Amino acid sequence: MTKSKTGVVVCGCGHWGKNLVRNFAELGALAGVSDPNSELAEKFAKEFSVPALTWDEVLSSSADAVAIAAPAELHATLGVAAMKAGKHVYVEKPLALSRQDGELLIATAKQTGRQLMVGHLLQYHPAFIALLEMVRSGDLGKVQYVYSNRLSLGKIRREENVLWSFAPHDISMILALVGEEPDVVTSTFAPMLHEKISDSVQVQLKFPSGVRGHIFASWLHPFKEQKLVVIGSEGMAVFDDRAGWNEKLTRYRHTINWGGAVPTPKAADAEPVPLPEAEPLKLECQHFIDCVATNSRPRTDGAEALRVLNVLLAADPDAAKEKSGDRFPGVKIHESAYVDEPVSIGEGTRIWHFSHLLGNVQVGRSCSIGQNVVIGPNVKVGNNCKIQNNVSLYDGVEIEDGVFCGPSCVFTNVNNPRSEVERKDEFRKTLVKRGASIGANATIVCGNSLGEYSFVAAGATVTKDVPAYALMAGVPAKRIGWMSKAGGRLGADLICPIDGTQYREKSSDELVAVTE
């Protein structure tokens, strides 16, 4: 065995992960194993003479890549962390359980320049590769209908239904054969052993070109069947993975003759298609190694896997919501927004389109985070805050309760930035105290504090600490008056025109409420 230049740590050594361990070891690429069950990890480490690593040790290791065989709800968390640690990532199917997590994985791969590949195993099967070539070369004429049966008696899952367990492989193959995404997806589920977990599913697909597709999956079936059938205008083909290698792929040159308006089929004998014998999983693992070594795009990359995920979500949106888990109970997050780990968000908060919360961010209760907002890393936002569109809260900014940040207001975190000079150790803290309001397009220079219930006018530039209740305007901003807690501008009598609260000046730059 020749040792590969690419080192892969397999994370998850259970039911399917053990097969990845074996194949990467046989390819000379296994650099370590990791599993929450330390005894299991040690068992494989000893068997294949590689280290057993904790997840933190995986991230800090010199390995080039990780292969993740963990529950799908962990794919986004583990995959993002691995790519940010400089690792290329292979994850088992499905890519994720929500579109948001799938898009986050893809975005992270793009940002970090790492490869992201998903284990749609049958795309690497010699029979499917030959079938795909038959379709693309026109050997079967125009594709009209594709259907698959994936049936067996067990293994019966309790953590997911049969659609999410069996169908990703078939969806992946059908999308590749048709070359487009369906515009109509319908499904019929049959829960028989458990009222909430379906044991059988039928999915119907309609594509913009007119091609129809059908998937039948069940783990409660009297016999095992794994067939993919393609019906074309010039012939038909069957990929039967249960057959021997000399019969796994057969072509049928059936034709339909028309006598007037009456179609008459003319049958032809089955023609076995010669195939090289090879283990699909080994071919898949080798493909991942090659893509890492040559910086090439994987056949089943994140974009391909997201198309498969879109079909799964369309076929079973309710189960997908249950499976993705409610990371933040009572929080509304638009599907286009990204939320990294670790992040905490309080109940009642809403996060709108295209916003991004980075790691180590805390957002309180009942906040509204507008469109295209970036928060973090290492930022704290209090309760009942409103962050309007196009605002970025950078490392060093802290927002207390009840703060309003107007559209496109700007925070800085260093005083003398240069693109080519790293100054992260010079970040200066900016504190916005309770109830303060910042107008649209205002700029808050780092290292300053905005006092409680202060008010910064639109377009102002704050270059020094702002007193509580102060009304600031201009460039640089100067105090031009006082504002009450209720948001009313105070006159000479210092009585709030909104709620009648009386204020008094303790000094030229200090105001206090007398009655409330």
On whether residue 48 sits in a domain, the answer given is: yes
Q: According to the model, what pLDDT value does residue 221 have?
A: 85
- SS3 category, 388: coil
Q: According to the model, what pLDDT value does residue 424 have?
A: 81
Amino acid at 364: G
Do both 60 and 161 map to the same domain? no
Q: According to the model, what pLDDT value does residue 317 have?
A: 63
pLDDT digits over 472-508, tens only? Answer: 999 999 999 999 999 999 999 999 999 999 999 998 8
Furthest-apart CA pair in the chain: how many Å? 102
Q: Is residue 516 scored above 70 in pLDDT?
A: no
* Mean pLDDT computed over every residue of the chain: 91
On whether residue 379 sits in a domain, the answer given is: yes
Task: Measure the CA–CA gap between 67 and 60, rounded to whole angstroms.
Answer: 15
Identify which has the larger pLDDT, 426 or 255. 426
The arithmetic mean of pLDDT across residues 12-17, rounded, is: 91
- The range of the structural domain enclosing residue 458 comes to 325-513
Q: Yes or no: say if 316 and 187 are a contact pair by the CB < 8 Å rule.
A: yes
Do both 78 and 173 map to the same domain? no
Q: In terms of DSSP bridges, do strands 249-252 and 449-450 run parallel, antiparallel, or are they unpaired? A: unpaired
Q: Yes or no: say if 162 and 170 are a contact pair by the CB < 8 Å rule.
A: no
Task: Measure the CA–CA gap between 278 and 407, rounded to whole angstroms.
Answer: 58
At 398, which helix (H) or strand (E)?
strand 397-399
Do both 501 and 371 map to the same domain? yes
On whether residue 211 sits in a domain, the answer given is: yes
Q: Is the dihedral of CA 495, 497, 501, 507 positive or negative?
A: negative
Q: According to the model, what pLDDT value does residue 320 have?
A: 47
Q: According to the model, what pLDDT value does residue 200 have?
A: 87
CB neighbourhood size of 300 (10 A): 25
Lowest mean pLDDT, pick from 192-201, 225-234, 398-407: 192-201
Structure tokens at 339: 């939320």
Lowest mean pLDDT, pick from 21-35, 117-131, 323-337, 341-355: 323-337
Query: End of a domain among 223, 245, 278?
Result: 278
Task: Measure the CA–CA gap between 121 and 300, rounded to whole angstroms.
Answer: 9
On whether residue 202 sits in a domain, the answer given is: yes
Task: Measure the CA–CA gap between 433 and 465, rounded to whole angstroms.
Answer: 11
Q: Is residue 325 scored above 50 in pLDDT?
A: no
Q: Is residue 8 scored above 90 in pLDDT?
A: yes
What is the CATH classification number for the domain harbouring 154? 3.30.360.10
First to last CA, the chain: 81
Structure tokens at 77: 């968390």
CA 311 to chain centre: 15
Task: Measure the CA–CA gap between 287 and 117, rounded to whole angstroms.
Answer: 10
Do both 369 and 425 map to the same domain? yes
- Number of domains comprising the chain: 3
Q: Is residue 24 scored above 90 in pLDDT?
A: yes
Enumerate the β-bridge partners of residue 351: 333, 369
Q: Yes or no: say if 330 and 324 are a contact pair by the CB < 8 Å rule.
A: no
pLDDT digits over 105-156, tens only? Answer: 999 999 999 999 999 999 999 999 999 999 999 999 999 999 999 988 877 6
DSSP collapsed to 3 states, 428-461: CCEEECCCCEECCCCEECCCCEECCCCEECCCCE
On whether residue 415 sits in a domain, the answer given is: yes
Q: What confidence tier does 469 reach under pLDDT thresholds 50, 70, 90?
A: very high
Q: What confidence tier does 260 reach under pLDDT thresholds 50, 70, 90?
A: confident
Q: Is residue 323 scored above 60 in pLDDT?
A: no
On whether residue 188 sits in a domain, the answer given is: yes
**Sheet containing 449-450, strands listed edge to edge, beginning at the edge strand earlier in sequence:** 343-345, 361-363, 380-381, 397-399, 430-432, 449-450
At 235, which helix (H) or strand (E)?
strand 235-240
Do both 289 and 337 map to the same domain? no
The pTM of the whole model exceeds 0.95: no
Buried b vs exposed e over 396-414: b needs ≥16 C-beta within 10 Å? Answer: bbbbbbbbbbbbbbbbbbb
CB neighbourhood size of 47 (10 A): 13
On whether residue 395 sits in a domain, the answer given is: yes
Amino acid at 228: L
- SS3 category, 130: helix
* Long-range contacts of 79-83, Cβ-Cβ distance < 8 Å, separation of 24 or more: 79/105, 79/108, 79/116, 80/104, 80/105, 80/108, 80/340, 80/341, 81/341, 82/58, 83/108, 83/109, 83/112, 83/114, 83/116
On whether residue 307 sits in a domain, the answer given is: no
What is the CATH classification number for the domain harbouring 445? 2.160.10.10
Task: Measure the CA–CA gap between 156 and 352, rounded to whole angstroms.
Answer: 39
Q: Yes or no: say if 217 and 163 are a contact pair by the CB < 8 Å rule.
A: yes
Structure tokens at 423: 């100054």
